[in-house]
A = this chain, B = another copy of it.
Amino acid sequence: MTTHHFQPVVYYNTFGSHPPALRISPGDRVVTSTLDAWGGDAAGATVAGKPNPQTGPFLIEGAEPGDTLVVTLERLGPNRASGFSRSILAEHVVDPNFVRQLPENQLLDWNMDASQGTASLISDVARLSPIHFPLRPMLGCLGVAPGGGQAISTATSGDFGGNMDYRGFTAGVSVYFPVFVPGALFFLGDGHALQGDGELVGTGIETSFDVTFSVNLQKGKTIRWPRGENADEIFTLGNGRPLDQALSFAVTEMLEWLVADYRLDLAGASTLLGMMGECVLGNVFDPAYTMVCKLPKGVLAGLGQ
């Protein structure tokens, strides 16, 4: 196992089969950094264009279409003290009859205190400036190159991952991706120091990140949608519109996971989901929405092996 310290030079605004930035092997670890959603780096300088410029792609040796790539987010968090967010709920997130009441969006500036693990607004918005919001750093974008020669904007997502903006992509999570092209070509970016479910205002606290991740490969194991797990739960993600469709992808993927890896039949898998499943909103802002279907590991442990 090798640890690579990788300083990105080129950034991409599409998930596609771009020239590899670094070749790594299953088991390797990478220490790198990401820009904020608008291309700002740790020094606050704009070094790439919108939207969500990506670090990578990392070519994983031996990855072939039909395999599953495992990315473990070991450490991640802001590498500067400033961040920004949109001030107003997105128009398509509220009742259409309410849109006229929404003021125009503004950019809000945040200050982050790494030692305290908190963020606060620099200017007062309503009466929020006294609040010290607890940081909960996560990656808005992570994914692999899609198949078929496609190059998909980093504004959106699909079965290859992408701009899913799910607040659960925090340190300690392992994420599973279908591999569509040789080498998988993994990208990451768009760190949020804090974000609620759904990315309802269209941003989290956007900032640049330092990220340490490691990769692994499940040869010959084929999945259809991104999956993940942390200490407490396993989860699947579906990306699409409307939310119903995103959910149906996530739920179906979870069914297939339970049947394939936990030796359940569809009635058993359905019953577990029906009684213990958790379904939360990933994002409802991006061109493709994200729904997440989760199961606590506790109940799975009860299944024995």
Chain A residues engaging chain B, CB cutoff 8 angstroms? 13-14, 16, 85-103, 106, 108, 121, 125-128, 130-133, 148-153, 194-205, 240-245, 247-249, 251-252, 255, 263-281, 284, 289, 291, 299, 302-304
- Given pairs A94-B252, A95-B248, 12 additional interface contacts (CB within 8 A): A13-B148, A88-B270, A94-B248, A131-B303, A152-B152, A194-B275, A196-B277, A201-B270, A242-B242, A243-B243, A243-B247, A281-B281
CB-CB < 8 A to A299: which residues of B?
Answer: 131, 133
Q: How many copies does the complex hold?
A: 4
Report whether A278 and B280 are in contact in the complex, using a CB–CB cutoff of 8 Å. yes
Report whether A281 and B280 are in contact in the complex, using a CB–CB cutoff of 8 Å. yes
- A82: shortest Cβ distance to chain B, in Å? 16
Contact partner, A275, options B89, B133, B273, Cβ 8 Å: B133
CB-CB < 8 A to A150: which residues of B?
Answer: 14, 151-153
Report whether B86 and A268 are in contact in the complex, using a CB–CB cutoff of 8 Å. no
Report whether A14 and B149 are in contact in the complex, using a CB–CB cutoff of 8 Å. yes
